[in-house]
Amino acid sequence: MTEDAFRDICLAFPGAQKGASYGKPSFLVNNKFFTRLRRQDASAVLMDVHIDEREMLMEAEPATFPITSHYKDYPAVLARIESLHPGSLRNFLERRWRKIAPKALVKAGLSTPE
């Protein structure tokens, strides 16, 4: 997946917009962190991934799902966009979107973009 494809998928979610989080270019929903692309390794920061799930992902696909010491204690996983399937990205982002989007949008069923 390219950076453009990553951006397009992120912005296809209702309410998603470009912004900043901790001084880094990010995508926000409802003024809350949605995801961002780490420029240093072209990895997406994907939130709301339980540590057990992250460990499984890292074991199954270590080239796609690395970890850094910064994220080891958070329910998050890094995913290199070069090898991440677009459908997988949508699934991870939908989970996060459902948690932070305005409840009216979630209730209306406006979620995963095609």
Domain count, the chain: 1
pLDDT tens track for 68-98: 999 999 999 999 999 999 999 999 999 999 9
Res 113 pLDDT > 60: no
Answer yes or no: is 114 within a domain.
no
Domain extent, residue 56, equals: 3-107
Task: Report pLDDT for 106.
Answer: 86
What's the mean pLDDT when you consider all of the chain?
Answer: 93
Measure the CA–CA gap between 24 and 87, rounded to whole angstroms.
25
Q: What is the tens place of the pLDDT at every residue in 91-108?
A: 999 999 999 999 988 888
Is 58 within the bounds of a domain? yes
CA 93 – CA 104 distance, rounded (Å): 18
In a domain, 12, yes or no: yes
Query: The domain that contains 84 carries what CATH number?
Result: 3.90.1150.30
At residue 112, does pLDDT exceed 80? no
In a domain, 67, yes or no: yes
33 close to 24: Cβ distance less than 8 angstroms: no
